[in-house]
Structures are given as structure tokens and as C-alpha cells.
Amino acid sequence: MAEVIRMPLLSDTMTEGVIAEWHKKVGDTVKADDVIAEVETDKATMEVMGYVEGTLLYIGVEKGKAAKVNGIIAIVGKPGEDYKSLLEDNKSAAPAAPAQSAAAPAPQAAPAAAPAVDDAALKEALKNATVIRMPLLSDTMTEGKIVAWHKKTGDVVKNDDVLAEVETDKATMEVMGYADGTLLYVGVKEGEAAKINGIIAIVGKQGTNIDAILAAENAAPAAKAAPAAESAAPASTVTTAAATGSNNNTDGRIKASPLAKKLAEEKGIDIHQVTGSGDGGRIIKKDVDSFVPAVAATAAPAAQNGVAPAAPVFVPAGQEGYTDTPLSKMRQVIAKRLSESKFTAPHFYLKIDVNMDKAMDARKAINEISPVKISFNDMVIKASALALRLHPEVNSSWMGDFIRHNQHVHIGSAVAIEDGLIVPVIRFADQKTLSQIAGEAKGLYEKAKNKKLQPQEFSGNTFSISNLGMLGIDEFTAIINPPDSAILAVGGIKETAIVEKGQVKIANIMKLTLSCDHRSVDGAVGARFLATLKGYLENPVTMLV
């Protein structure tokens, strides 16, 4: 009997996946462990296996197109087997796609003004060229930013060549054209964004009439053009609103060298007021160095009747201003998830001081023999993992209508990157040695900073740790990372005067704050967990038993 292969759920936030490549075609024999396709999700490009044996009878999604999670992407069965009955269940959902184009008939008058499309020329062009569109790399993505082009117009392109790098909410992804030929057209410049499914490049035979392809794209229903115009409007508004006092930005962009821009920023000079002396009116370093604000001419009041003014007149350098930074997809997800956590989960906080004198001595001794340098954060991860094993109530997840008590200990360790915060996960941390934790953590942090983490490396945590001690923060409270029931905030180690047995002494104190979800963790439970954690850190040898 024929078996249906559906779009798998490859990410906790995934709603659909884009078929990046088919490794099998209709009629091919498929084994259970064969990779049949590659799917682009919001986090990474993943391989999809059918886990069935037979002949590939049907492919439901073309390369470059998206399929909803659980949607049919292929059918495998016996040669000649009738599989059409299996598609009946999906027919009710199929009309939804055309409905979208029919639902947005807004500017129907616009196509009348566009030049007529030469269908014959278009068909001929499409025979000799492949249109490469912006892929869907995230379930919340509406556009992608071209970070870099690896090919330029006129270059020869092979099927597996990386054409460009596209920035998403989680990572910078490589985009392949999956076509052989010459790069005939680049539709988006580096640093600019393209809407999902918008043409970013065309690859094909030299001499192909790409104008026919572009004309057909421009003559498409205005449903595509309208959002593009809306997204472009804010950018042009910001640029023109700031453009005062300079005529070197006739195309809406300031022509200035990077050094000139940096100097202007450091000196508080509005770059729009500077007149450029370089090629085409480009602003260069000497223009910024010699710039004098227009109001400066009136800034030096002359002494009248031999009487000097009481005080010099203040002349501001530059003018009032601000910059609006659009939210990245990553920042939007962080805002959404943490807002839900903070305003849904009833947080309460437990604080404790830990004497790290013995831990400092132990770390020094361990690092003399460890193949990997052990940090204090590695020690906190190990101690937390062992404490969670003794207090499983804290190693739990709030699931809405039930509490999940996890039997494994996966520690998420928050890392700040340029676009926000991501939480790589150390799996089975309670079973690993300090050197194993240190080596794995170092590799994950490096991947996080380079946006190379895979979904399994930043999901599945049962407890989280946020450490700001290395940034000089003594103590703070952290927002719980859902669905975890708790998160540990770690401050810096600071020399502090303490009283011990009636005598004042100096100790190295580290402050810990445990944020707990009161729906799943009670105060006494959290307090006992912190006491155990304190015991491990104040006497590290107990972690080795």
C-alpha cells in the first residue's frame, strides 16, 4: 500500500518548510534510510527521510516552493499503484492558495498601464533560464537581507554553487541557485532586502531575453507590488526627512566614505550638512575636519564698547536627531516569548550568596591538568545539573494543563550575540565531566556568535542559566525561558567582608538569583535546590563523587 510522506516539524516555531532540493524523482526506487529531500526551515536546512521503501510515485511540492507542516510532499508505493485517493484529504486545503491571490485584487487598474507581456518571448526565456527567488528561511519571515553576493553578473554558475548569503532571524544562511549557466541578472544589491519569493537572480544561457521575465514579474497582480511599496516607504521617509543642508544625496543616499561617517559621528556632526568635495560630491575625511556649522558665524559676539560678554555663547555641534532601527526577526521572537513568560508565569525570586574561595582554588588546580580551560560558568553548569538531579521538581516544564517532570538534565546557557540572545543547550550535563562541559560549551558559544547553531543545539533545555558576572554585574534577576520552570541568574565574584565565627574576614562572594515559576515550583522547593547548589560550589570536590 502506498505511503504518504508529510512535511515534518523540524523546529518548534516552524509552520512550513521550503523544498531546497529533491534527491529523488518520480519513478526512482526509495529505501527506508534514503534522504529524499532537503528542507529549509526557520533555523537551518535539514535532510528529510521517507522511512519507507518502494517507488517514488508522486512529488507534491516543487523545488523552491513551501509546504505546510504535515502537508503531503511525496507518496511512495508500488510501481503503477493508484495513489490519487490519498490526495483527497488535502483537496479541501488546496483552494486556500489561489484564494489569496483572488483576495487581493486591489489595484486592478495598474496592470493596464504596464507593457503587455510577450508570452512567446517569456516561454522561450524560461526554457533557457532559471529564476532564483528569495526562499522562505523562517516561519515569520517576510523578506530576506542579502548580506553578500558570491557571484557577480557574467560569472559562470554551477548547480551547487553558493550564490549569496541571506540574513535571517537566527542565522546567516547560504542560498544556492541549483542551476547551471551564467549569472544573467542580480535583482537585489548587498545590504538590501527582497520580499519572499521575489526575484533575486536569474541564471541561464548567455543572450537569454531576461527582460521578458522581468516584464512578466512586473505585470503580475499588484498584490506583490503594493506591500513592496509600503515597505520601501519608511526607508525613503527616514532618508529624506534627515536630508537638510546638503545636495550630495540626490538619489536618497548619503555619499560619504566610511571614515568620514565615523568621524562625523564621533564629533557629533550631522553628515547631511556637510558638503562633499570628492568625486560626485562624495564626503571625505577633510570635509568633516573642516566643517563649521552654519550657526557658528553668529556664535562669536563681538565686544561692543570694549565690554566683553559675560560668558561665551554655547554653540551645539550638530543637531537633535534619532535613529529608528527596525526589529530583526530574532528580536521579535525574543520580545514575544519573554513577554509571554513574564506576564503569564507568576515569577518569584530567591537569592543566595556563595563563598567561592574553594571553587577558585579548585579551578586553578583543575586547569593545570584539564585539556580544556574550565570557567566558573562551567562549574555552575555542572553544579546546577547535579542539584537538578536531586531536586527534579525544579527540572520541570509547565505545559499548560500538566507539569512535565523531565528525567534528563539539559542545561541551556544564555549567550548574547549581536542580534539578541540565544540559548545553546548542554545535553545530559549531569553525566558529563567539567572538561567535557567546557569543551562543548566553548564550541556552542562559537557557533552561536557565528550564527551556525543547528535547531537541536538550541532547543530542548530543561533549565537555563544566564551569567552576567563577566560583565561586572553583581546580581540581577532573569526572565524564565519557557517552558522551563526556573532560570538561574549568576553575578560576578567579588571580594566581600563577611563575619565567620565572630570574626570579620574577606571572602570571594558570588550572588545567585533563582527565578521560579510558582505554577510548578514552590518556594521551599526552590530554596532547597539553591542550598544544594551552594553546597556543590562551596565544596567542589563533592561534584566529583
Nearest CA to 483 out of 403, 387, 391 is that of: 403
CATH architecture of 329-543: 2-Layer Sandwich (3.30)
| Model pLDDT, residue 382 | 97
Closest CA to 6 of 102, 73, 99: 73
Amino acid at 316: P
Tell me the per-residue pLDDT of 316-357, one tens digit each, with 9 for 90 and over. Answer: 777 788 888 888 777 888 888 889 899 999 999 999 999 999
pLDDT of residue 519: 95
* Range 3-88: architecture per CATH: Beta Barrel (2.40)
Does position 396 have pLDDT exceeding 70, yes or no? Answer: yes
User: Which is nearest to 441 in space by CA: 374, 533, 360?
Assistant: 374
> Could you give the 3-state DSSP secondary structure of residue 438?
helix
Residue 37, CA atoms < 13 Å, CB-side half-sphere:
29
C-alpha cell at 114: 504596464
* Chain length of the chain: 545
Residue 99 has pLDDT above 70, yes or no: no
Structure confidence at residue 282 (pLDDT): 74
Query: Measured between alpha carbons, how far is 377 from 361 in angstroms, rounded to an integer?
Result: 15
Give the pLDDT confidence score for residue 243 in this predicted structure. Answer: 33
Burial class (CB in 10 A: 0-12, 13-18, 19+), 434: buried
How far apart (Å, rounded) are the C-alpha atoms in residues 196 and 16? 13
- Res 106 pLDDT > 60: no
* Beta carbons of 246 and 274 less than 8 angstroms apart: yes
**DSSP string for 459-474:** S--SEEEEE-GGGT--
Give the per-residue pLDDT at 247: 44
- How many whole angstroms separate alpha carbon 436 and alpha carbon 250? 58
Reported confidence tier of residue 112, pLDDT bands at 50, 70, 90: very low
Mean pLDDT over 68-94 rounds to 77
Bridge partners of 16?
Answer: 68
Question: Cell 521575465, residue?
Answer: 213
DSSP 427: T
Which one of 138-152, 176-190, 273-287 scores highest in mean pLDDT?
Answer: 176-190
Sheet holding 193-195, edge to edge: 172-176, 162-167, 143-149, 193-195
Q: What is the pLDDT of residue 258?
A: 65
DSSP E strand boundaries for 278-320 = none
The three cell numbers of residue 506 are 574577606
For residue 297, pLDDT over 60 is answered with no
pLDDT tens readout for residues 212-233: 888 888 875 544 444 443 433 3
For residues 537 and 528, what is the distance between their CA atoms, to the nearest angstrom?
15
pLDDT in tens, 458-470: 889 999 999 999 9
Write out the three cell numbers for 536: 556543590
* Residue of 23, 28, 160, 518 marked active site: 518
200 contacts 180 by C-beta, under 8 angstroms: no
CA distance 152 to 149: 7
Strands 486-500 and 463-467, sheet pairing: parallel
The answer to whether residue 23 is catalytic is: no
Q: Is the pLDDT of residue 235 over 60?
A: no
| pLDDT tens readout for residues 404-425 | 999 999 999 999 887 788 899 9
Q: What does pTM read for this prediction?
A: 0.48
pLDDT bucket at 204, cuts 50 / 70 / 90: very high
Active-site pick, 12, 28, 289, 522: 522
pLDDT per position as a tens digit, 146-180: 989 999 999 998 877 888 888 866 567 778 777 78
Structure confidence at residue 16 (pLDDT): 84
Q: How far are the Cα atoms of 197, 250, 516 from residue 520, in angstroms, in the given order?
A: 44, 60, 8
479-526 pLDDT per residue, tens: 999 889 999 999 999 999 999 889 999 999 999 999 999 999 999 999
Residue 385 — pLDDT band, cuts 50, 70, 90? very high
All three cell numbers of 94: 488546496
119-205 fold = OB fold (Dihydrolipoamide Acetyltransferase, E2P) (2.40.50)
Torsion angle of C-alpha atoms 203, 205, 206, 208, degrees rounded to 10 = -90
* β-pair type (66-68, 35-40): unpaired
Q: Over the chain, what is the mean pLDDT?
A: 81
| Chain segment 18-66, per-residue pLDDT in tens | 898 999 999 999 887 788 998 887 656 677 877 778 899 999 999 989 8
Return the percentage of the chain with pLDDT > 90, whole number. 40
Max mean pLDDT among 6-15, 127-136, 324-333, 478-487 falls in 478-487
Alpha carbons 64 and 525: distance in angstroms, whole number:
51
DSSP 304: B
Per DSSP (E only), the strands in 190-267 are 193-195, 199-204
Establish whether the linkage from the previous residue to 483 is cis, with ω within 30° of 0. yes
> What gap in Å lies between CA 482 and CA 423, rounded to an integer?
12
CA-based torsion, 306, 308, 309, 315: positive or negative: positive
Q: Which residue has the cell 484529504?
A: 89
The pLDDT of residue 381 is above 90: yes
Percent of the chain with pLDDT over 70: 81
- Whether the CA torsion 212, 214, 215, 217 is positive or negative: it is positive
The C-alpha angle with vertex 186 and arms to 181 and 188, in degrees rounded to 5, equals 150
Domain residues of the chain, as ranges? Answer: 3-88, 119-205, 329-543
Task: Looking at 391-509, list the stretches that DSSP marks H as alpha helix, in order from N- to C-terminal side.
Answer: 434-449
Say if 3-88 and 329-543 have the same CATH topology: no
Q: Name 181's bridge partners.
A: 157
| Residue 522 annotated to the active site | yes
Which strands make up the sheet holding 347-355, listed edge to edge?
347-355, 503-517, 486-500, 463-467, 411-413, 425-426
Query: What is residue 168's predicted lDDT score, i.e. its pLDDT?
Result: 67
Taking CA atoms, 256 is separated from 262, 319, 336, 392, in Å, by 10, 19, 38, 59
78 Cβ neighbours under 8 A, 6+ residues apart? 2, 54, 55
Percent helix, strand, coil in the chain, to 5, is 30, 25, 40
Residue 392 has pLDDT above 50, yes or no: yes
At 102 the pLDDT is 35
User: What span, in angstroms and rounded, lies between the C-alpha atoms of 264 and 291?
Assistant: 10
* Cα of 455 vs its chain's centroid, Å: 12
* 329 φ, ψ (degrees, to nearest 5): -60, -35
Contacts of 475 (CB under 8 A, 6+ apart): 351, 489, 491, 511, 513
In this prediction, residue 97 carries a pLDDT of 36
* pLDDT over 60 at 440, yes or no: yes
